[in-house]
Structures are given as structure tokens and as C-alpha cells.
Amino acid sequence: MILKRILLLTSEIVAFCIFFFSGKSPFFLGWSIPLLFFFSALLSYIIFVTKIKKEKDEKASFFLSSSKNVLIFTVIKNDIPSAKRFVEHYSKFPSNFRILIFDDNSADGTYEYLVKASKAFENVEIRRLVRSGRILHPKGEGFEIALKDKKSDFVFICDGDSLISLDDLNFLISTMEKEKLDYVSAQRRNIEKEKVSYYSADVNELFMSLMNEVASLFGGSIFPGSGHLIRKESFKTFKYDDICLSDDTYIGNWITQHKKRGKRVYSASVMELAPEKFSVKLSQMLKWTKNGVLERIRALSTGVLIQYFALFMIIFSFLFPKTYLSLITYDVLAILFGIILGMALSFKKIKGAILGFLAFSLELLFSTAYNVYLYNRAIFSNPRYLESGKFEKTKRE
């Protein structure tokens, strides 16, 4: 743990020294920032529109029906509306698609509803989730059990509100089989309601997909928690540690370490719900940020150190705004935000894309500041809290 602290603190100090000793830049070079923003937005829009069209053309040429046995699983607790939505949607799938729903000890009648519903559909199975006693999210517990299912070739990871069409799921199967992949990810979407929280959540999902593309170039992985089709044989050795603060981050790290091959299919959508209020959406993002950051710190790697070095390069660029390095950082950020806006416009209508981009940019500002706080809290706190999973009173859920 001492070595981790030294490495983490070193990345921060190096970023500070680089900015502190760098030369000043002339003000007139700032014209590059808006130019790069608009150029990258246009290029991003063209790239993703072309990519989505190509995928849709491929989908049209496939025979969208598979005989492979697929286990669609999720974990639900105290959420009857989501349980009904989930069962009513997936119970209509063919018999080779089996639905396994774990109830995490609901106390509001959700379990009773699920048991009653399962009797009406042959392909729906309900189980009470038995916890292992580890510090692990319930969905992580369910995933391990799902991987042991002997009747399925693939496992489709869902949240309780995740819905994918039969055609899109068949397309994921076809893509995985054709390209001999270990997993395939659909694009998560939040488009059910015309609300700022939904606009922001949808852009957030697109951003996470984009960041995964970037992270993969450096040997990293970002693994949002649903919409993934897993080849069970490829994950037969998968198992969570006794302490896992972010089950999604852990899977992403495991995929990288074991060199599993996968891809994202942007034209295949997993529809999910978002919080009704933007304030709740912001709180949700900060919670995910905390769990993901702490899990990455616990499993420290070169990729994590690069990530935190980049984070502090951004922070110090605003503390030392008149340096050449600050200008470079602003240019990089202009390109990044331009790509996000162009990506959003390629997926969404103009109103939703613009409002979502602005709201998500605000979220990203809070998330970045929170990253810095968590990072330094981890360095200067008692190491046994981080190792035990009790840092910042992190809960199992």
C-alpha cells in the first residue's frame, strides 16, 4: 500500500512540476480552441453517422435468428415496476432465450410478483439471491451464479431496467459468432422521456463508450454494468475477489488482464431508465465515480497512473492558465468535448443532443473535482480502510 501511495502521489507532483516550470504562451494562440472544438464535432458526427449506417446495413443482411442458448439475467430488489417491465418484455422471446431473475430479498412484494409471473411463462425462472458475505454488489453475486449455468452458451448481463430487442440481441450473437469474439456490448441508451436527466444520462452513456475506445488504446477498459453478451466458455475462470468496490470496473480489468476480445455495436441499443430529477442523476454519477475510482486504485496499474497523471494535467492547466502546456490541454479538451457533441448529434435530435451535452458537461465538472478529492483521500487516509473496502463508508450496494 505504501508503494501505491508513492506512485499515486508522484503522478500528481510530476504534473505540478511540469506546469510550474513550463514557459508562458502568447494569448493570440487561443483561437485554436474553438476551431478544434467545431472541427472535431463535425468529424465526430460524420464518423459515427457512417459507422451506425454501416452496422445497420450489416444487420439487414443477417438472418436475425439464432439457435444458441442465451441466459438473460438480472438482479432486482424492491422494484415492482421494473420487474413487470422486465418480465413482460423478455417473456416474449423464443424458448432458447431463458430469463433468470434474482430477487435480492425484496420486502415490498416484488418477489411475490416475480414468483407468480414465472408460473405463467416457461422461460422465466426466479431465485432468491443468497449472498456470499463478500463486499460485492448483488449483481456481481448473480453474475457468478449465471456463469455456472449449464444450459446456456451465452450470458446477457442486464440491469433491472435494461431492455433490448430480439433483433438487436440476435445481431449481437451473429456478430460474436462471425468475428469469434469473447463478448459483445450493445450501446446503452436513456431516451424514454423528454427530461434533462434523460438527455444527460444518454450523453453520459455515449461518453462512456467513447472513453472505453480511448482506454482500450492504452490497455485499459471501461465496462458499464449492462448490455453485454458474454461467451460463457471465455469466462469460465472468472471470479470476484472477496472485496470488490465496483463489480463493473472489476470485469473490465479482468477482460484486459486476460486479453479477451470484444467490441461495441453502436446500432444495437439497450434501453434503460434514468432518474427523474437531474440532481438525483448527478448524485448517481458521483456514486459510480467513487466506486470505480476506489476499485481502480486498489488494483493499481500503469493505465491507472496514466489516467491520474492526465487528470492532474487538466487540473493544473487551470491553475497555470498562461502556459504552453495549458494551451495544449485546452486544445485536447476542446477536441474531446467536440467529439462528445458530434457523437451526441449523430445519435440524437438537436434539442436532446445540445441539452444533454450541456447538462453532462456540468456533471463532468463535478465528477472531475470529485476524482481529485477521492484520489488524495486515498493517499492520505488510513490504508486499512481502502484495503477493507470501508473507505468513505462504501456500501456493498
The predicted structure's pLDDT at residue 30:
73
Sign of the alpha-carbon torsion through 222, 226, 229, 234: positive
- 3-state per-residue secondary structure call for 329-364: HHHHHHHHHHHHHHHHHHHCCHHHHHHHHHHHHHHH
> pLDDT tens, 302-314?
777 888 888 888 8
End-to-end, the C-alpha distance of the chain in Å comes to: 25
3-state secondary structure of 270: strand
* 124-128 and 97-103 strand pairing: parallel
Strands, DSSP E only, in 190-243? 228-231
> pLDDT tens, 261-308?
999 999 999 999 999 999 999 888 888 888 778 777 777 777 778 888
Place of cell 464535432: 41
Residue by residue, pLDDT tens for the chain (397 residues) are 677 788 888 888 888 888 888 777 665 567 889 999 999 999 999 999 999 999 999 888 776 677 889 999 999 999 999 999 999 999 999 999 999 999 999 999 999 999 999 999 989 999 999 998 898 999 999 999 999 999 999 999 999 999 999 999 999 999 999 999 999 999 999 999 999 999 999 999 999 998 888 777 766 667 888 999 999 999 999 999 998 888 888 998 899 889 999 999 999 999 999 999 999 998 888 888 887 787 777 777 777 788 888 888 888 888 888 888 888 889 999 999 999 999 999 999 999 999 999 999 999 998 888 888 888 887 777 666 655 555 554 333 3
d(CA 102, CA 77): 9
d(CA 332, CA 314): 10
Q: Which amino acid is at 31?
A: W
The predicted structure's pLDDT at residue 253:
87
What Å distances lie between residue 141 and 12, 182, 221, 388, CA to CA?
36, 21, 21, 18
What percent of the chain is helix, strand and coil (3-state, nearest 5)?
60, 15, 25
The predicted structure's pLDDT at residue 395:
38
The predicted structure's pLDDT at residue 28:
54
* Beta bridge mates, 154: 70, 231
3-state secondary structure of 23: coil
Q: Which of 264, 226, 247 is nearest to 72 (CA)?
A: 226
For the chain, give the longest Cα–Cα distance: 72
The predicted structure's pLDDT at residue 383:
62
d(CA 255, CA 53): 28
- Name the strand (E) or helix (H) holding 80: helix 80-90
